[in-house]
Amino acid sequence: QVQLVESGGGSAQAGGSLRVSCAASGFMFGSTCMAWFRQAPGKEREGVATIDNDGTTNYAGSVKGRFTISRDKPENTLYLEMSNLKPADTGMYYCAAVGGCIVATMRTSGFEWWGQGTQVTVSS
């Protein structure tokens, strides 16, 4: 059974930093593409960052240079380091994964497994 469990969300002031984590189980972690998405109240879920099977990363323009996605394969854990946070970064952050993947997409339709989400709130 595939499980993605996010943790580490919370509150921060603008300009601060947070790290969210995603513990994965039930699939071959090393042969997947993974991503972080976020959803603000009243808005559609949007892609934040992806990491391909070979470790290549891609970021949404709004977070490039501020966020870093990484994966620890032995620990089956995905991370998102967020710095210089802005109020616009507020939302529920979701971990996502897809098996048999070479290159990840930033679209929600490109992922088959999802976590329950962890809330990130940035105040000005």
Mean of the per-residue pLDDT values of the chain: 94
49 pLDDT above the threshold of 70: yes
- pLDDT band of residue 74 (cuts 50, 70, 90) is confident
29 pLDDT above the threshold of 80: no
52 vs 30: CA distance, rounded Å: 10
38 vs 74: CA distance, rounded Å: 26
93 pLDDT above the threshold of 90: yes
30 pLDDT above the threshold of 80: no
Q: How do residues 96-108 score in pLDDT, each as one tens digit?
A: 999 888 888 999 9
- pLDDT band of residue 75 (cuts 50, 70, 90) is confident
Residue 122 CB contacts under 8 Å (≥ 6 apart), including other chains: 11, 12, 13, 14, 16, 85, 86, 87, 88, 89, 90
Strand pairing report for 118-123 and 10-13: parallel
CB 21 within 8 A of CB 78: yes
Taking residues 54-63, what's their average pLDDT?
96
Report CA torsion sign: 46, 37, 16, 81.
negative
User: What is the 3-state composition of the chain as percent helix, strand, coil, each rounded to the nearest 5?
Assistant: 5, 50, 40
48 pLDDT above the threshold of 90: yes
Q: What is the percent of the chain with per-residue pLDDT over 70, rounded to a whole number?
A: 98
Count of CB atoms situated within 10 Å of the CB of 121: 15
